[in-house]
Amino acid sequence: MPPMSSIPQCAREERRRAVSHDGGEGCNLYGTLEVARVTGTLTLAPVSLVHAPKSLLALALPTSRQQATEPGRFNVTHQIKKLSFGRDFPGQQSPLDGAWTHSPGGAAVARYFLKVVPTTYEFLSGEALHSSQCSTSRHLNLEL
């Protein structure tokens, strides 16, 4: 994995975190991912590069050394501002847009189960837009 400072989003977050020194801040993740139409898992995990297995893309880093050595102390509270599959279309509902998950502290795992369904939206002009919609359920598991 390349150094975190070479990834533009992470470099910006590192600079902002260095200026603020606020232990309550997190990391913003954004981007685009193209995937094949197969069952799969996307994992976003708060881990340090030291503890990350080579197969895991570590996208978020703990904000302190103590959190890096004691992962159970990491707070996984988060908000999903927008999550979509395919192009947006009028009237589209995205069930996770704006969703908050609050972790009371300690070890926890937030899991989202999604079913993505291909969708064709037809405009009054007859033009067709091929996209997708999703349904979801979510769970917060407190690890003991």
Question: Tokens standing for 83?
Answer: 């999550």
- What stretches of the chain show up as alpha helix (H) in DSSP? 8-20, 65-69
Decide which of 72, 96, 118 is a domain's last residue.
72
Number of domains comprising the chain: 2
Answer whether 106's CB lies under 8 Å from 72's CB.
Answer: yes
Decide which of 72, 96, 128 is a domain's last residue.
72
State how far the Cα of 27 lies from the Cα of 67, in Å rounded to an integer: 14
Do residue 66 and residue 7 come from a single domain? yes
Decide which of 56, 72, 88 is a domain's last residue.
72
Average pLDDT per consecutive 10 residues, the chain (144 residues; last block may be shorter): 64 55 61 74 63 44 46 73 88 88 77 88 96 87 69
pTM to 2 decimal places: 0.59
Structure confidence at residue 126 (pLDDT) = 96
